[in-house]
Structure formats: structure tokens, C-alpha cells
Structure 1
Amino acid sequence: MKTLTVPGTLEALDEIGEFVMDFGQGAGLEKKKIYRLRLAVDEISTNVILHGYKEAGIDGKLTFEAEETGEDITIRLFDTGVEYDPNEKANPESLNKPLEERPIGGLGVFLSIQSVDKFLYERKDGKNIHTFVVRK
């Protein structure tokens, strides 16, 4: 298992992206799947930073655990920000509405969750845990 801990700031996004890409390449994941995994992790990380920390006026860190188990690549994101379940923001129903009737936000979250094979969220012991799974 590989880990990374970074400050909960937008400046950390490049380092997070490199971590995801390096792990995916090392695990033999094809480029398209690495890109999709990075997209998902980047989008959720950005939301945690902006909404879980910055808007709440608190500082925090993001910790990542990456592991390869059988045919799966799993990355977990842990944060202590405001409780935030991306599944509640990912609303595909609004995609059928005209653009001017759609609510602002949520599309990036929806696309990121759709770009991985499995996405899970849980709140445990004061932490948000976001789990991204991609099959090889």
C-alpha cells in the first residue's frame, strides 16, 4: 500500500494527480483508466478542499491510500472536513432538463463517479472516506 498526505489546499492537486498516475502506471493500468481514475480523484479532492475545508473556514489535510488487490486498483481519500457525500450531488435527472433549468453544480461529481467502476462514501469517526475502485 502506498500513502500520501497533503494539505487541504488547491495547490496540492498536482501532487495528488501525480500520486494517482504513478500508482496506476506501476499497477499496469491502461492509460485511459488512469486518466478516468485521476479525473474522479481530482474532482472529489477539489470538492473536499473547497466545500469541506475552505467554505467551512477550517484547515485540514487529505490522506490517500492506494492499493492493488487482485484485479482492482483502490484509492481511498480520507479527510476531516464537513460531512460531504458526493452521491447526494450526483444527480443525473437534471441532465434531461434544458440548460437554463439545471441546478448549478453536481455535473463534475456525477461524471467523476461514473468514470470509476465503483465509488463508495462513508463517514466514520469524524472522517469522510471516499473509495475509488477501477478494475484492470
Structure 2
Amino acid sequence: MRRSLIRLSSSETGRSIWEDIKKRVTTGKFLRPEDVDDVSKSPAKEHLWRYPSPGDQPEASVPQGDYEKVFNISYYDRDARRHHAKENVDVEVKVNSELPPTPGATYVQGEGIKGDDFHAEERKRRAAHLSALETKGAKE
């Protein structure tokens, strides 16, 4: 008795799988058969058309007026009729020693921040030292 129940259930399972495959092939919905937003638009008894349909949409309101003012779609448009004069603002100039340290600049204790001018002076000092060594070596 138990064997027949197993056979019966397996045959029903096979039949239901076959029916499911047949349904998916005819509808075209393989991955998600319960998908509400049917992209494939396969034939069905009921279609969910978009609302409002293209024939029921209201007329577009097209602006009327001066062409250059109506259709100006610049992102940051400035109105030239209200041109404001720019003010000249005096900016306080800071010395290198007052500025915060920046990458590539060297800070010397007691002297502040030294940038390119420090490196130029260092090169001059090294060149003078090398020339002094050469003259000293030439004398000996």
C-alpha cells in the first residue's frame, strides 16, 4: 500500500512540474511567474495599461512671449539688466612665518616656515662651502 502512495505522489509531482513548465513556456515568464510588471507584454486576458493613456493626456502648455526670455535654459544665468559693480576689497598680506605649515615647506625653530627661499639659500650655502673646499684643496 505504501508503495502505491509513493508512486501516486511522484506521478502527480511529475505532472505538476510538466504543467508548470508548459505554463511558463506559453506565457514567457520563466524567472518570476508572479511578476506584476510584465515586461515581455505576452498575450493575456487582461492588460494593465498605463493611466492616463496617450490619447487622454492634457495638452502641453507652451509658453508664449519673447523667444530669448522664454526659452533661456542656462544653468546659472545672470541678468545683465541688474549688473552690480564689484567692490575692491583690500586683503591683508601675511608673511610666510605667520602662515600655517604646508606640505613641502620646512619649519625652522625660531624663524618660522621656510619654503622655496629657504632651499635656495641652502643651495647657495652648500655651493659656497664646496667652492671653499676646492680652493683649500688646490692650495695644498
Q: With the length of structure 2 as denominator, give the TM-score of the two structures.
A: 0.20
Q: Looking at CA atoms only, which structure, 1 or 2, has the larger radius of gyration?
A: 2
Structure with a larger share of its residues in strand: 1
